[in-house]
Structure 1
Amino acid sequence: MEQLTGTIVAVHPELTTDPVSRQGQIGMVVAADLKNDTISVGFGSPELGHYSSDALLVLKEKNQLYQDALLGHKELGPEVFKQMLFVNMIQDNRPDHKNMVQAMEMAISSETMMKASTVSLESMLALDISNANELGQHARIGR
């Protein structure tokens, strides 16, 4: 599982309860307590938001995003397809903080783009755990 601190996230725009009213806003993970499923997110102000992993969106992994763009280009339409390729280009070539915020802004700019280019942090964490378990099983099989 990768380190979460510094990860750019978006608070799900349809989140019904948010004490700091940051639905649809982009922030950065500053702390994560995975055991209690509490992710602390900073938004450039002293006030932090505390969320469960299913309330936060992250960009799809760059290879998955690229594959989804290519396979779904007809259904997505030319504008979303171009945006997905641009987000993928940022992930691949310029993944610094400023550019990743720009990529996330683009990813949540429309409902279609959001559904095509993001996943919940919860899903990403589950995938990381699943991949780690698979790697462990392959290592044991190879002995």
Structure 2
Amino acid sequence: MTDQELLGTLVLVHPNLEDHPAGREGHIGFITYVDRPENEVYVRFTDEAEAVYPTDAIFLLKDREKIFCPDKAQTNAATLNDYKDLFKIAMLQDKGRSTDIWNALQIARDNPGIWPATLISAEESLGLRSNRYVGR
């Protein structure tokens, strides 16, 4: 995704974020600005408060096909409840309204077991995560 494509996107602040002055861990907001050189994302919340986060502390929903594809033999679900949550998220994404995306983010937030299957960091979405190799 590009910076412009992310503007207005609903996002989830990492629920386990520690020591951030805004104290909005686990809250949902939308992106208002991306500062690529500083690797920062500005997020506005429903109460009009705004906070700045590192790109790896902000999560977006993955594309529906990556979350839940009934045609596949495999699933990203470890349990029946995970499967149900993945299905609900996919159905909400199909509707595509902002309230549905908000609800999908809430479902994902409340089930840490499906985070790897449903969420992608803004850092990864923007292609800022580089491969780091340790060598001699």
TM, length-normalised to structure 2: 0.81
Match 1:8 to one of 7, 10, 16: 10
- Paired with 1:96 and 1:34, the residues of 2 have a C-alpha distance of 28
Give the corresponding residue for 1:41: 43
Give the corresponding residue for 1:125: 126
- Which structure 2 residue ranges, 5 or more long, are not aligned? 129-136
- On the 8 A contact 2:64/2:90 being kept in 1, the answer is yes
Question: Alpha-carbon deviation of 1:67?
Answer: 4.2
More helix by share: 1
- Paired with 1:34 and 1:88, the residues of 2 have a C-alpha distance of 30
Question: Alpha-carbon deviation of 1:24?
Answer: 1.0
- Paired with 1:124 and 1:43, the residues of 2 have a C-alpha distance of 21
- Paired with 1:46 and 1:25, the residues of 2 have a C-alpha distance of 13
Residue 75 of structure 2 corresponds to residue 72 of structure 1: yes
- Paired with 1:25 and 1:123, the residues of 2 have a C-alpha distance of 20
Question: Which range moves more in the overlay, 48-57 or 116-125?
Answer: 116-125
Q: Report SS of the residue matched to 1:76.
A: coil
Aligned residues with identical type, % of pairs:
27
Residue 34 of structure 2 corresponds to residue 32 of structure 1: yes
- Paired with 1:34 and 1:62, the residues of 2 have a C-alpha distance of 26
Match 2:56 to one of 37, 54, 57: 54
- Paired with 2:66 and 2:19, the residues of 1 have a C-alpha distance of 30
Question: Which range moves more in the overlay, 97-106 or 75-84?
Answer: 75-84
- Paired with 2:116 and 2:81, the residues of 1 have a C-alpha distance of 14
Residue 76 of structure 2 corresponds to residue 99 of structure 1: no
- Which structure 1 residue ranges, 5 or more long, are not aligned? 128-143
- Paired with 1:91 and 1:99, the residues of 2 have a C-alpha distance of 7
TM, length-normalised to structure 1: 0.78
Give the corresponding residue for 2:20: 18
Question: Alpha-carbon deviation of 1:125?
Answer: 1.7
Provide the alpha-carbon RMSD of the alignment.
2.1
Instruction: Tell me the number of residue pairs that the alignment of Structure 1 and Structure 2 aligns.
Output: 125
Question: Alpha-carbon deviation of 1:72?
Answer: 2.9
